[in-house]
């Protein structure tokens, strides 16, 4: 896995010609902060970190690596939670943080051309004076980069109504493994030929390096209201979610937090969350004034019927921002409850929310680890945060087993092992549960069409059949895969 010293010398010599000395990091000291991304439980030291700021530099770097057969792991803001930017011991980190310019905003076509290192929130901030915004808003939107969003097909609070990243981008430029610059998608909505833009979205840096993105912007809705409903029982909150959608209303956002998450978020955001509630739902409705009034009445009625103990409606932009600030900071705010957490990301059918939460709570007792639940309830995207202490020998392993059980539970009830964080390094073994060997073989065929030597983020997202077989040896009973009754796509 490690790079032999001749190749390493040849590589560094070439990279030195491409970027200035302070943008090529090679000492162990400088490399260590790059040994992990937002998932700090796993670390690997790369051979070098390169921080280019022009597309030409990226092309040359990729060509150098391609020629010497050195793996490349692209990295944006390093906020990913599935270890997608976890380095390869024998490869480089290609950091795109210096690509941080918004190149243009087109108010006629409602698009913006941005570099991949631009922060998600910075796009909305730049579009705001024009009455526009960029809809996908992962909780880490203050820090995460748009390039990373495309690579992971990021979602967020608003994706329930406005779609994931894939529905909100129009065109991207990528550098392929041979250093060619390609434009995928177009300035119009439909493009002839295969939809390679969709294929690239969520490909986790395994098919090409994203160097420019045309994002779609939306006009800000005329009016917005945010409702906060408190519940005495978690399952009531879970059922309320399905009830709202069943009423034919698609909220702009529909989020749920349980008690531990409420307490942690409140400590940071001081959003006036009810500390005695077992769970809260945050429901954002947007649209025209008249339409909105009607929706608020229906949602309020539905919530009451679903046994909400209290409903608060935030009408001012300031109060709404406060309610969301708590939700968006909920993950890291959990750092106040526990030295470490392991953030899971699975998706389930909405009607299973109450059942799955009950099962998670049983697993929590079984493994003796606390859980805080924060999730995009509207689209059934769960984010259980398993609280553990990495300083206690063996606790990470227990947390991992607990997490794997949750993901397998998601698959069992008809859901999937990722909603928006990607598979990365973290969930690669659960891919063996989700997909059959035939499907995985096809995935590899796509990968090798773009990257025949497997140099782009190798070892992530798609497990080799060998890996699945080894894993299977632990799980298979009587020659059957786990949950053989489940159709695997």
Partner 1 sequence: MKTEFSPTFLNTPDGKLANEILRTCVHCGFCNATCPTYQLLGDENDGPRGRIYLIKQVLEDKPVTQATRTHLDRCLTCRNCETTCPSGVEYGKLIDIGRKVVEEKTTRGFKENLTRKALLNLLPYQSRFTPAIKLGQVFKPFLPKILAKKIPKKINAGKYPSNTHSRKMIILEGCVQPALSPDINAATARVLDRLGISLTRPKNAGCCGAVNQHLSDEEKALNFVKQNIDAWWEHIQNGAEAIIITASGCGAMVKDYAHLLRDDKDYADKAKKVTELCKDISEVISKEDLTPLQTQTQQRQTKNISWHPPCTLQHGQKINGVVEKILTDKGYNLLPVNDSHLCCGSAGTYSILQAKISQQLQANKIKNLTKHQPEMIVTGNIGCQTHLQEVSDVPVVHWIHLLDN
Chain contacts with partner 1 (rule: CB under 8 A) = 22-23, 25, 27-30, 32-34, 36-38, 40, 49, 51, 53, 77-79, 95, 97-98, 100, 117, 119, 121, 140, 142-144, 265, 267-269, 329-336, 339-341, 390-391
Q: How far is the CB of 119 from partner 1 (least distance, A)?
A: 6
Q: Are strands 346-347 and 371-375 parallel, antiparallel or unpaired?
A: unpaired
Closer CB to partner 1, residue 24 or residue 354? Answer: 24
For the chain, the straight-line distance linking the first and the last C-alpha, in angstroms and rounded, comes to 33
Residue 142: exposure state from Cβ atoms within 10 A (0-12, 13-18, ≥19)? middle
How large is the angle between the packed helices 317-328 and 259-269, nearest 10 degrees? 120
Task: Say whether 231 sits in a helix, a strand or coil.
Answer: strand
* Percent of the chain that is helix, strand, coil (3-state, to 5): 40, 20, 40
Structure tokens at 21: 């000395």
Instruction: Give the Cα separation of 241 and 250 in Å (integer).
Output: 11
Closer CB to partner 1, residue 68 or residue 267? Answer: 267
The dihedral sign for the CA sequence 80, 85, 87, 93: negative
Instruction: Give the Cα separation of 420 and 409 in Å (integer).
Output: 17
Closer CB to partner 1, residue 150 or residue 269? Answer: 269
The residues pairing with 382 across neighbouring beta strands, listed in sequence order, are 346
Beta strand ranges found along 88-168 (DSSP E)? 92-95, 102-106, 111-114, 132-133
Is residue 38 within 8 A of residue 80, CB to CB? The reply is yes
Structure tokens at 218: 């939306």
Q: How far is the CB of 17 from partner 1 (least distance, A)?
A: 20
Q: How far is the CB of 23 from partner 1 (least distance, A)?
A: 8
Is residue 214 within 8 A of residue 172, CB to CB? The reply is yes
Q: How far is the CB of 307 from partner 1 (least distance, A)?
A: 30
Closer CB to partner 1, residue 284 or residue 395? Answer: 395
Closer CB to partner 1, residue 91 or residue 415? Answer: 91
Q: How far is the CB of 321 from partner 1 (least distance, A)?
A: 15
The dihedral sign for the CA sequence 326, 328, 329, 334: positive
Closer CB to partner 1, residue 140 or residue 170? Answer: 140
Closer CB to partner 1, residue 314 or residue 385? Answer: 385
Closer CB to partner 1, residue 141 or residue 239? Answer: 141
The dihedral sign for the CA sequence 346, 352, 356, 359: negative
Closer CB to partner 1, residue 143 or residue 292? Answer: 143
Task: Say whether 129 sits in a helix, a strand or coil.
Answer: helix
Distances (CA, A) of 61 to 67, 71, 118, 269, 453: 10, 11, 21, 42, 16
Instruction: Give the Cα separation of 385 and 369 in Å (integer).
Output: 10
Q: How far is the CB of 338 from partner 1 (least distance, A)?
A: 9
Closer CB to partner 1, residue 329 or residue 352? Answer: 329
Closer CB to partner 1, residue 28 or residue 466? Answer: 28
Structure tokens at 485: 């009754």
Closer CB to partner 1, residue 352 or residue 457? Answer: 457
Instruction: Give the Cα separation of 326 and 280 in Å (integer).
Output: 12
Task: Name the helix (H) or strand (E) containing 310.
Answer: strand 308-314
Residue 479's CB is within 10 A of a number of other CB atoms, namely 7
Q: How far is the CB of 156 from partner 1 (least distance, A)?
A: 15
Instruction: Give the Cα separation of 219 and 136 in Å (integer).
Output: 14
């Amino acid at each position: 896995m490690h790079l032999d010293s001749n190749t390493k010398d040849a590589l560094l010599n070439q990279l030195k010609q491409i970027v200035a000395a302070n943008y090529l990091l090679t000492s162990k000291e400088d490399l260590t902060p790059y040994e992990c991304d937002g998932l700090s439980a796993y670390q690997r030291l790369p051979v070098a970190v390169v921080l280019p700021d022009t597309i030409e530099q990226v092309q040359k770097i990729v060509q150098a690596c391609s020629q010497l057969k050195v793996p490349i792991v692209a990295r944006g803001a390093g906020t990913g939670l599935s270890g997608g930017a976890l380095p390869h011991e024998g490869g480089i980190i290609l950091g795109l943080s210096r690509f941080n310019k918004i190149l243009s905003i087109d108010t006629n076509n409602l698009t913006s051309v941005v570099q991949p290192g631009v922060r998600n929130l910075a796009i909305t901030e730049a579009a705001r004076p024009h009455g526009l915004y960029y809809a996908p808003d992962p909780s880490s939107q203050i820090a995460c980069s748009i390039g990373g969003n495309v690579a992971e097909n990021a979602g967020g609070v608003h994706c329930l109504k406005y779609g994931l990243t894939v529905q909100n981008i129009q065109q991207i430029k990528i550098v392929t493994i041979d250093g060619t610059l390609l434009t995928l998608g177009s300035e119009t909505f439909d493009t002839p030929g295969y939809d390679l833009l969709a294929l690239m979205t969520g490909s986790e840096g395994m098919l090409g390096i994203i160097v420019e993105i045309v994002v779609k912007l939306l006009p800000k809705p005329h009016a917005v209201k945010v409702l906060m409903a408190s519940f005495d029982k978690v399952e009531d909150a879970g059922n309320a979610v399905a009830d709202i959608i069943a009423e034919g209303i698609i909220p702009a956002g529909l989020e749920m937090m349980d008690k531990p998450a409420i307490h942690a978020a409140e400590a940071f955001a001081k959003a006036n969350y009810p500390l005695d509630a077992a769970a809260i739902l945050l429901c954002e409705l947007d649209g025209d004034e008249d339409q909105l009034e009607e929706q608020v009445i229906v949602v309020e009625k539905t919530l009451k019927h679903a046994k909400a103990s209290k409903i608060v409606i935030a009408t001012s932009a300031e109060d709404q921002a406060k309610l969301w600030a708590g939700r968006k900071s909920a993950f890291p705010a959990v750092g106040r409850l526990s030295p470490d957490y392991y953030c899971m990301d699975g998706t389930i059918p909405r009607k299973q929310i109450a059942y799955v939460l009950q099962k998670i709570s049983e697993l929590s007792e079984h493994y003796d680890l606390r859980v805080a639940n924060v999730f995009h309830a509207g689209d059934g995207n769960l984010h259980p945060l398993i609280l553990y202490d990495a300083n206690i020998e063996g606790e990470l392993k227990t947390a991992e087993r607990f997490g794997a059980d949750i993901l397998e539970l998601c698959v069992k009830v008809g859901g999937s092992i990722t909603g928006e964080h990607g598979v990365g390094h973290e969930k690669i073994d659960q891919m063996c549960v989700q997909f059959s060997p035939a499907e995985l073989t096809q995935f590899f065929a796509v990968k090798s069409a773009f990257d025949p030597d497997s140099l782009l983020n190798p070892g992530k997202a798609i497990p080799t059949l060998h890996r699945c077989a080894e894993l299977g040896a632990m799980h298979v009973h009587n020659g059957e895969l786990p949950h053989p009754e489940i159709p695997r796509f």
